[in-house]
């Protein structure tokens, strides 16, 4: 990285689909500092989720450069370790695994790492305690389908934090929740961002969510609006 304070450096990033006919990202230049809280706002199809997927190494760009936490994502071949160690994803539809318990869902990112079974359970329980469940004992052995939308999203946040990521990427984390539960989830994310000094990037199309961030990035037609 050119600037040691920047955890994300993107230069002229381009991404298109359907043999180049759909330009999802059309030359993105972006720098995000370590510990910053950034929201990406824009209408549907503006490329905000694509940009988030690029930062989280779920997808690769066609042109340009993208450097996240010191890793060149355009040229690194195996990005699974990067995702496991540096990124925590929070999806709109939580994406918990339905046939696993809450505790097992939170432990999943630690499977295959050097963390032992007992430490995995302790780490998962410690994080679930931070998620303000009314009765943690009742929740940990439940399957996600027995939980409310807000509870599921809190489990998803615990899962995102379990490997001590340096960046949390939240794609419309309140999109499927009522406003009260949504506010609670946003406050929880903001709280974690402040306490853990983790970089938080939220994709949203709601301005009140975007306004909670230190910086708002507006996107339109695959570009950042100045």
Residues that bind another protein (CB under 8 A): 53, 56, 58-59, 78, 80-85, 87, 89, 91, 95-97, 108-109, 111-112, 159, 163
CB closer to another protein, 192 vs 207: 192
Name which of 16 and 85 has its Cβ closer to another protein.
Answer: 85
Please report how close the Cβ of residue 33 comes to another protein at its closest, in angstroms. 24
Q: Collect all residues with Cβ–Cβ distance below 8 Å to 81 and sequence separation of at least 6.
A: none
How many C-beta neighbours within 10 Å does residue 70 have?
12
State the burial class of residue 26 (Cβ atoms within 10 Å of its Cβ: 0-12, 13-18, 19+): middle
CB of 106 to another protein, least distance (A): 10
Min. distance of Cβ 2 from another protein in angstroms?
27
Shortest distance in whole angstroms from residue 175 CB to another protein: 14
Of the pair 29, 111, the CB lying nearest another protein is at 111
Specify whether the CB–CB gap between 142 and 101 falls below 8 A.
yes
CB of 15 to another protein, least distance (A): 11
Task: For another protein, give the closer residue by CB, 30 or 108.
Answer: 108
Nearer to another protein, 113 or 212 (CB): 113
* Residues 168-189: b if buried by 16+ CB within 10 A, e if exposed: bbbbbbbebbeeebbebbbebb
Half-sphere exposure of 58 (CA within 13 A, CB side): 12
Cβ 163 to another protein, closest distance in Å?
7
Q: In whole angstroms, what separates CA 220 from the centre of its chain?
A: 21
- Residue 123 or 159: the one with the smaller Cβ distance to another protein is 159
Distance separating alpha carbons of residues 73 and 66, to the nearest angstrom: 6
* Burial bucket for residue 116 (CB in 10 Å: 0-12, 13-18, 19+): exposed
Exposure of 142 by Cβ count < 10 A (0-12 exposed, 13-18 middle, 19+ buried)?
middle
Beta carbons within 10 angstroms of residue 115's beta carbon: 17
């Amino acid at each position: 990285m050119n600037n040691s304070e920047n955890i994300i450096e993107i230069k002229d990033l381009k991404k298109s689909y359907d043999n180049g006919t759909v330009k999802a990202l059309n030359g993105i230049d972006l720098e995000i500092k370590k510990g910053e809280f950034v929201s990406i706002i824009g209408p549907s199809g503006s490329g905000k989720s694509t940009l988030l997927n690029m930062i989280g190494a779920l997808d690769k760009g066609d042109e340009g450069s993208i450097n996240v936490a010191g890793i060149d994502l355009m040229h690194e071949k195996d990005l699974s370790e990067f995702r496991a160690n540096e990124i925590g994803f929070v999806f709109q539809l939580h994406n918990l695994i339905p046939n696993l318990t809450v505790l097992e869902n939170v432990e999943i990112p630690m499977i295959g790492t050097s963390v032992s079974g007992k430490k995995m359970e302790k780490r998962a329980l410690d994080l679930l305690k931070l998620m303000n469940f009314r009765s943690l004992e009742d929740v940990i052995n439940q399957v996600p389908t027995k939980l409310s939308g807000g509870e599921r999203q809190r489990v998803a946040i615990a899962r995102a934090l379990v490997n001590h990521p340096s960046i949390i990427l939240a794609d419309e984390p309140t999109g499927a929740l009522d406003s009260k539960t949504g506010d609670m989830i946003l406050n929880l994310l903001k709280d974690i961002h402040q306490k853990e000094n983790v970089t938080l990037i939220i994709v949203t199309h709601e301005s009140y969510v975007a306004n909670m961030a230190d910086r708002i990035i507006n996107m339109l037609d695959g570009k950042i609006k100045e």
